[in-house]
Chains A and B, each alone.
Chain A
Amino acid sequence: MRLPCPLCGDRDRREFYYQGHAVMLERPLRDAGANAWDDYLHNRDNPAGETRDLWHHEAGCGAWIVVTRNTVTHEVLGAILAENAKKTGAQA
């Protein structure tokens, strides 16, 4: 499996650390309430199909990236820097 780091190009999966769903970037406001925080911290979908996850290129450039991939076909559809995903709400 290779992931397309937006800075480094296609790289071996061994160079990356997997964090989890990219929903982690959408942190609720401090006073959003217990349900929103419970959702944010603990509840995740388990999609059959496209999903967006956060990966860290720890043995490479050190960037956090948002990877869009398909859990059924294992196809990797694209990646963007997490900093850009946060700034613009862009999708990989």
Chain B
Amino acid sequence: MVKLIAKSPCAGLLPKTIGTVTLTEIDAGRMTLVAPFAGQKKSVSDALKSSIGVGFPAPNRTSGTTPRAVWCGRGQALIIGADCPDLEGAACVDHSDAWAIVQIDGADATALLARLTPIDLRASTFKRGHTARTLIGHMTGGITRLGVQSFEVMVMRSMAATLMHDLTQAAQNIAARADVGD
């Protein structure tokens, strides 16, 4: 049988360092979208907790680290980094390879994202483990805070190059301003 070579969504585009900001691709591995049926959220969360150790996250939140669950819309979450167990009370869809995920680190990480998204990114409002479904440039996607100067941005895989273009341009503009001393 022909052995195909797997290619990550951002292959050839990342990693990249621009000014104070570093962009790295995150390989999420196994990913499953879980959408509990009406009235089933609690039982689905319990089943997830007992099989992979993370519960169904509250809106705008993540739970766990490896594996982890990331809320991604009304009644929906992505289970990342583990095989999804059989869940009676939920619709489960394989999203492995469906998302381009980029980690943004550095002193200007917040400033960079502030150029691309309308949400309030201040650390007092958007804390570690918080996630948001929002606009990134003209795309819809997800933003999660990983740390003080660290975020994860995800868009559908087909938008990887556009995301890279938007992130690169924003980072270059910030770096250029720093060069001329604002």
Q: A-side interface residues toward B, CB under 8 Å?
A: 7-12, 14-15, 58-63, 81
Contacts and interface: CB of A to CB of B under 8 A. Distances in A.
A14 B118 contact: yes
B96 to A, nearest CB: 22
Interface string B69-80: 000011010000
B135 A59 contact: yes
17 contacts: A7-B59, A7-B60, A8-B59, A8-B60, A11-B119, A12-B119, A58-B140, A59-B133, A59-B134, A59-B140, A60-B133, A60-B134, A61-B133, A62-B73, A62-B74, A62-B76, A62-B133
B47 interface: no
Nearest to B38: A83
Indicate the member of A14, A58, A60 with the most B CB atoms within 10 Å.
Answer: A60
Interface in B105-152: 118-120, 132-135, 140
B74 A11 contact: no
